[in-house]
Structure 1
């Protein structure tokens, strides 16, 4: 099931907004459960099993910690802060997972084509596309640095024995890669025709399909329900 980036963006905003405010949690628990499960269901359909496992593991650990703090809390400031952190993390987790799904399943060509169909100006499209490409390249460089450190025997176990050496061998090359990557991404963007005010063709066939309209309608209904329960319902 391939979704358009516009649908993913709307879902990320709505899920984060609804779950963070918590206005529908009391009277529409099953709707909140559906919204919280949607990002994980979409990851499963896209076969991102590792991302689903990490997300569910985080929610499970945060829920256990929250329950333990609420039942064994001694009303200390530190425990109160931990409860606040866990509650906020549980509310933010589905929105963050939805955002991660949007990034993992969207190519650069589809992203730019969707932004153009949203009638956004080139002054926004060009920086956004360059920024996404920059973070993706930095992730690849960081992974290569970790593999090179592993070959030299510098694993996570060595951090407490040689912390300065670990920081030097990991972050100094990363900073050098960041400087080089920024220039390379800017040159690549210009080569691909990302010029402000200039025409640009694309091979992307992104468009809104049945599932896009269905999920967009669901998100709009959730927003209308939130407005109704907040300002109309007595």
Structure 2
């Protein structure tokens, strides 16, 4: 299953908007649960089985906990507030974050740039976005390699309390050097790939909306219409 980046972006925005506002939570709670579970189903289809199963289990646990808290009052109001906050994080905040994570994990840089061009965004916005995403991905890989090298030399988390200055030096000094080098490399890579403001650039990515994209976009429009109707009807 391959979705267009525009569909993934719309899913991320609409899911975050609907769940954070909470207008449908009281009258259409089953729909809210389905929206909260949708990003984890996409992760499951993308092969992230462990992460998806954990998320679905948390969604189920949060639904049960919220039902118990609203039906039965606990003896401690502080404890009840803590549990309600935990359910709010799982049901309202986490799905939007996980949908954004799925969008980044399953979208290549060429598909991202091609989709942004299809959205008629200016080059002055597309180029910084593409450079920024490539920069953070490279920094993540550099940090992982530094962490692995420290582990091979016996510099684990337990050593932090014995010699914190050494741990900070061996982790963050190489990272700062890598950040400086990566910034230059990414800028040069963007220029060699033809990312120039006002310049025409060909792309091998064939980004287009398929049947599944139109179905999901139609579903999002229906959810937005239901949200508006529930507030003003």
TM-score (norm 2): 0.88
Q: CA deviation at 1:71?
A: 3.6
> SS of 2:177's equivalent?
helix
2:35 paired residue number: 35
1:143 aligns with 2:147: no
Q: CA deviation at 1:75?
A: 3.7
Give the Cα–Cα distance (whole angstroms) in 1 for the partners of residues 118 and 12 of structure 2: 18
1:134 aligns with 2:135: yes
Structure 1 201/4 Cα, relative in aligned 2: closer, same or farther at 3 Å? same
8 Å CA contact 2:37, 2:56 repeated in 1: no
Structure 1 61/138 Cα, relative in aligned 2: closer, same or farther at 3 Å? farther
Runs (4+) off by over 6 Å: 60-68
Matches within 5 A, 1:158-169: 158-169=159-170
Give the Cα–Cα distance (whole angstroms) in 2 for the partners of residues 155 and 177 of structure 1: 21
Q: CA deviation at 1:121?
A: 0.6
Give the Cα–Cα distance (whole angstroms) in 1 for the partners of residues 116 and 171 of structure 2: 35
Residues 13-71 of structure 1: CA distance to partner in whole angstroms, max 9, x if unpaired?
00000000000011111111110111000111111124325545766888899889x84
Aligned length: 228
Q: CA deviation at 1:152?
A: 0.4
More divergent stretch after superposition (82-91 vs 160-169): 82-91
1:25 paired residue number: 25
Give the Cα–Cα distance (whole angstroms) in 2 for the partners of residues 144 and 64 of structure 1: 41
1:93 paired residue number: 94
> SS of 1:160's equivalent?
helix
> SS of 2:161's equivalent?
coil
8 Å CA contact 1:4, 1:208 repeated in 2: yes
* Cα RMSD for the two superposed structures: 2.4
Q: CA deviation at 1:172?
A: 1.5
Q: CA deviation at 1:89?
A: 2.3
8 Å CA contact 1:133, 1:185 repeated in 2: yes
8 Å CA contact 2:44, 2:53 repeated in 1: no
8 Å CA contact 2:24, 2:227 repeated in 1: yes
Q: CA deviation at 1:206?
A: 1.5
2:212 paired residue number: 211
Give the Cα–Cα distance (whole angstroms) in 1 for the partners of residues 148 and 47 of structure 2: 25
1:112 paired residue number: 113
